[in-house]
Chains A and B, each alone.
Chain A
Amino acid sequence: MSFGLSEVSVRFGATTALDHITFAAPRGSVSAVVGGDGAGKTTLLGCLTGAIEPDSGRVERPAKRLLGVMPSTSGTWRDLTVDENIDFVARAYGITGEDLRAKRGRLVAKAGLDRARDRLARQLSGGMRQKLGFVLALLHGPTLLVLDEPTTGVDPVSRVELWGMISEAAAAGAAVAMATTYLDEAERATTVLVLDSGQALASGTAGEVIGSLPGTISVVDRPADPRRAWRRGRVYHEWHPGGDSTSAQIDSDVDLEDTVIAQMLRRREHAST
């Protein structure tokens, strides 16, 4: 069974926050939505959880008690300890006794929080707090996990641990839908939807998204058109919308980041003509 959005539009006054967006979150996989501040990621996730009612389109989601949500602020109670946070959520879902003991032991160890169980959530580092937030969202065994930028501001070591937990939840059969601003991370997901100002720029596997860009991207020392070029280390990557330019081959160094930058440039060029 697949959860997700089909042709969903959301308007806030004169602003179109989502414009005919389709986003599938099948069970047993990680589906990522990528974009910057204001792209529509949180609105999309809000439609998926039911917090936002779309103006048009269809949403498939599980019953509320099978939904796990982690907001970008981590969703932890800062004046409660790690254990008290877990107790609170367990109580709400009626998880008790041996079941709670086993779940707590396993998840707290996975999150590397075993030695922090008596610490207040406010005293945790950003990465630890995000991991606790994930534990809370996962505790009741949801079939759909909705995670809003779980790794923003999280250090590389905690991020890898968080990714391990996210992957494990998907491997165990949950549908994971997550927002991120980072494309190296989106490349790890099963599929990616790229949003820009409420519009879908591209979607599919990372390979499909890279392949869907019109034209080619080349690696050059000096770009022919600086407006269509960006720095990657000491060299430039340049997008040639023309397509079959013989001098410009899609370089093996071209990644999802390059493709999304080019897609965003393309959309802006279209908007200004």
Chain B
Amino acid sequence: MTATAARVVAESAGVTRRFGTFTAVSDVSMRVAEGEIVGLIGANGAGKTTLIRILLGLLAPTAGSVSLFEQIPSRNTRQRLGYVPQSLGLYTDLTVTENLRFTARAFGSSVPAALSDELSAVKDRLVGEIGLGLQRQLAFVAALAHSPELLVLDEPTSGVDPLARSRLWDTIHEQADRGVGVLVTTHYMQEADQCDRLVIMVAGRVAAAGTVSEIIGGRTAVQVDTEAWDEAFHALTEAQLPVLLAGRCVRVPDASVDDVERALARAGVSAHVTAVPSTLEETLITLGRA
């Protein structure tokens, strides 16, 4: 599904938000189309949460405009979106079923009939007593109960095990396949790979946007294979290069093969040095420095 042909469910145009003298979000234009999963990536304080709050209509922009379902955000648009905040937004002193009844009443929808076996088994337990993985599953069920057209997820899988995480992503993809637009923040690059497109924010601005391969572009990192990884690591750190451990080799993003070879030669470390395509994480470091 291409973004140009599909209906846009959320859009910001030149959005800026200042708090006093601090500019949290600066001239951000981005959109989420139906059926599309857009990942919002950036450091703490890069402006992701502020942008989400503006898109949801919880915060007014200082400049620029936002639209949800081609309208100005309002109570009416709130009915049509599902939001899972980082804190999950569940009532820990109510049971699983009571939480679902509560959201159903708030949205005027019905309580979901079928729960997963895992959630069914704990439906009469207090939410505060069930594990984090189940709480996350429940927050998803609650957010999806009124069949939203836009799903906004703030770090939806933090702390859960790999299998539970993969099942949450299966749910996200299922929704997108049905035409729901998804905006998701994550700190994890493997999850960024699950998205159709990414918007990378650095210091309130969009530093890059596009598919993972578009964002990486032709960027390369330098991989150093050596028996003496610790000596290589020392030598490169001494040379002020941004060196990273990767299993039994080390990698240097944003550097040239020449610089790396010179630093290693100076320290008398023999190693096999090659330029390799950057990972998304390495690209983020480069974007953050620029």
Contacts and interface: CB of A to CB of B under 8 A. Distances in A.
B160 A189 contact: no
B194 A232 contact: yes
Contact of B167 (A38, A230, A260): A230
Interface in A141-162: 152-160
Contacts of B288: 157
B163 interface: yes
Interface residues of A, number: 53
A37 B246 contact: no
Contacts of B196: 233-234
A217 to B, nearest CB: 12
A77 interface: no
A231 interface: yes
Most buried by B among A35, A158, A160: A160
A95 B162 CA distance: 42
A170 interface: yes
A164 B234 CA distance: 11
Nearest to B135: A37
Interface string A33-56: 011111100000000000000000
Interface in A215-273: 230-234, 255, 257, 260-261, 264-265, 268
A183 B189 CA distance: 10
A2 interface: no
A126 B155 CA distance: 14
Interface residues of B, number: 48
Given A36-B133, A37-B133, A181-B161, A158 B43 contact: yes
B190 A184 contact: yes
B7 interface: no
A113 interface: no
A199 interface: no
Interface in B176-199: 187-190, 193-196
Contact of B230 (A28, A163, A231): A28
Contacts of B60: none
A167 B245 CA distance: 6
Most buried by B among A38, A125, A260, A261: A261
User: Which 6 A/B pairs are nearest by Cβ-Cβ distance?
Assistant: A36-B161, A167-B245, A171-B230, A230-B166, A155-B43, A264-B163
Interface of B: 41-46, 131-133, 155, 158-167, 169-170, 173, 187-190, 193-196, 229-230, 233-234, 237, 242-248, 250, 281, 284-285, 288
28 contacts: A34-B162, A36-B132, A36-B164, A127-B43, A155-B44, A156-B41, A156-B189, A156-B281, A156-B284, A157-B43, A157-B284, A160-B244, A167-B243, A171-B234, A172-B230, A181-B160, A182-B190, A183-B190, A184-B281, A188-B246, A188-B247, A230-B166, A233-B193, A233-B195, A257-B190, A260-B163, A261-B163, A265-B163
